[in-house]
Structure formats: C-alpha cells, structure tokens
Amino acid sequence: MFANRVLDAGGIRCHVLIDGWRAVSPRFVFKGYDEAVHGPSVAPGLEADGSLSGRFAALLIEGADGLVLVDAGIGPFAGEMEAGRLAGELDGLGISRTDIRTVVVTHGHADHVGGLVTNDGVPVFEEARHLVHPAELAFWRSGVAGDLPGDAGEPARVAFGALRAGGLLDATTSGAATREVDVIEAPGHTPGHLAVLVNDALLWAGDAIVHPVNVAHPEWISAADMDAANVQTRVALLARAADDGLVVAGSHLPVQGRIRRHGAGFVFDELPPGR
Ligand SMILES: [Zn+2]
C-alpha cells in the first residue's frame, strides 16, 4: 500500500510527496454511512480496528517550465497529527524551496495549505506564483469560514494572507498553469476546489476523489465535502479520465489507476506498483 511514489505523466516525471498518514472512520469518508448501503463496498477495505487508512499527499511535477508543486501539506498546523513531512520529502529529493516556480493550491483545507507558510507565517516558496481559484480565496475570507469549528479557517487565512501580502497569489479559474500543467475547476469539496491535469496524461484529483469506492459510487460524498456539487464534479472528472485514458491519483486516494466506463458508471483499474 502507498507505493508508486513516482508517476509518469507521458514522459513528465511526477513525485507523490507523502506529508503524513491518517486513519479515519468510514463515517467521515462516506457521509451518512449505512452498513446496509455502503458496507458491501467499503467493509472489505477497513482495517482491523474499523478505520480506513489514507494518506496526506502533495504532487511535485518536473515540468519543462520548472518545478510545479500541487499543495504543500499541513506544515506548522500539524499539531498532534502524524503529518507535516513534506519539507523532508523535498529535502530527500534535493530540492530547495526556491526551485519551486509554480504552486497550484487545490483548496484551502489545512492539510493542503498549512505548509505554504513557515512557523512565522512567511511564504515558504518565495519564488513561486501560487495559483488559487478566486471562489476559494473569497470563501476563506468570508464570515462562514471564520466561524468554522476549531478555527479550521486559520491555516487558509494565514497562508493566503501571507501570499497576498507577498504578491505571490494568482487567482485562476482554469486553463494552463504551465506548458504541461492545466488547472481544472472541480468545485464541491470546497467552493473553489481545483484539480490538475499533467501533460494530458495524469489527473490529480485533489480531494474530489478520496477513495477508490468513489469511482463506482461518485454519489457517496464525504463528511468533508462542503457541497453535494462534488458528485457532478466527480462524474465529470471520471468521464474525462475514462475517455482520455488518464491515470488518476489524488491527495488522500491511497492508490492510483485508470478509469473504465461500465454501463452508466465507472470502474477503477488500479495500476500495479512501479507504473
Ligand atoms: Zn485534504
């Protein structure tokens, strides 16, 4: 499990950077979890303690226009969580922070934006333009985000504020981020969630697809999805992946694979390790 750390996007090398691990209740990954409905699909993947294992991951793309990072892990906001390893992952690859030219931020949850800033709230990737959907920026500045329990809006507020002050923020809805990297509007998990397409070969779904069962059942949203629009987003991403032969991977999805149409729905064909 959690193998395939290097992904090939049609000749563009990508690295899945592991920021940490998590074990969560299936009630979190599948909102309104019902043993009778979800159990037959989900139960075979449960650990002995009844939890689902997943990862926190970011993607590093070795693009011709320079290195592109998709999300930055939880950084200084890890607290008691087993996460915040992204800096060590970059060090392990011999990559300095200033080598990163572009950062795509899929959305404003802590495990994606926390690592954009240091303990002191200063941008980590000071040479990079940071692409964020304008609806995402607006949401995390809103009173709704400010009222989230546990001050869940703090990491986004700190990170986006620091990037804005540093002139590093670039509001982007969709289109080419670099020659090989496109951002795709994928709302629902959050209002301005972005997915990323690398070299027309690899689809990084961010948090739009978090579990392999989401492929057969895109209608089963998670407790972390802000909006049921994520169902339409998933179907659109899966259709594109199936029709264009894309490899699909994502932040919390523990495996990657290709999507095949099956009747009115989709099937997930996991890729074997090393592919
Ligand atoms: Zn996430």
pLDDT tens, residue by residue, 216-267: 999 999 999 999 899 999 999 999 999 999 999 999 998 899 999 999 999 9
Q: Which residues are paired to 21 by β-bridges? A: 55
| Predicted confidence (pLDDT) per residue in 169-202, tens digit | 999 999 999 999 999 999 999 999 999 999 999 9
CA of 74 to the centre of ligand 1 (A): 9
**61, 17 in Cβ contact below 8 A?**
no
CA of 194 to the centre of ligand 1 (A): 12
**100, 57 in Cβ contact below 8 A?**
no
CA of 71 to the centre of ligand 1 (A): 10
The residues spanned by each domain of the chain are 6-270
In 3D, which of 132, 152, 248 has the Cα closest to residue 193? 132
| Predicted confidence (pLDDT) per residue in 16-43, tens digit | 999 999 899 999 999 999 999 999 999 9
Residue 80: the pLDDT is: 86
Q: How many residues in total does the chain contain? A: 275
CA of 99 to the centre of ligand 1 (A): 24
CA of 152 to the centre of ligand 1 (A): 12
CA of 107 to the centre of ligand 1 (A): 8
CA of 181 to the centre of ligand 1 (A): 20
CA of 109 to the centre of ligand 1 (A): 6
Residue 65: the pLDDT is: 85
| Predicted confidence (pLDDT) per residue in 96-122, tens digit | 999 999 999 999 999 999 999 999 999
| Backbone φ and ψ of 32, nearest 5° | 70, 35
pTM comes to 0.95
CATH code assigned to 6-270: 3.60.15.10
Residue 81: the pLDDT is: 87
CA of 249 to the centre of ligand 1 (A): 13
Q: Is the pLDDT of residue 275 over 80?
A: no
CA of 263 to the centre of ligand 1 (A): 30
In b/e form, how buried is each residue of 50-81, taking b as 16+ CB within 10 angstroms? Answer: eebebbbbbbbbbbeeebbbbbbbbbbbbeeb
CA of 41 to the centre of ligand 1 (A): 22
DSSP run (H or E) holding 21: strand 12-24
Split at pLDDT 50, 70, 90, the class of 1 is very low
CA of 105 to the centre of ligand 1 (A): 11
Distance between first and last Cα of the chain: 14
| Predicted confidence (pLDDT) per residue in 139-151, tens digit | 999 999 999 988 8
CA of 132 to the centre of ligand 1 (A): 15
Q: Is the pLDDT of residue 272 over 80?
A: no
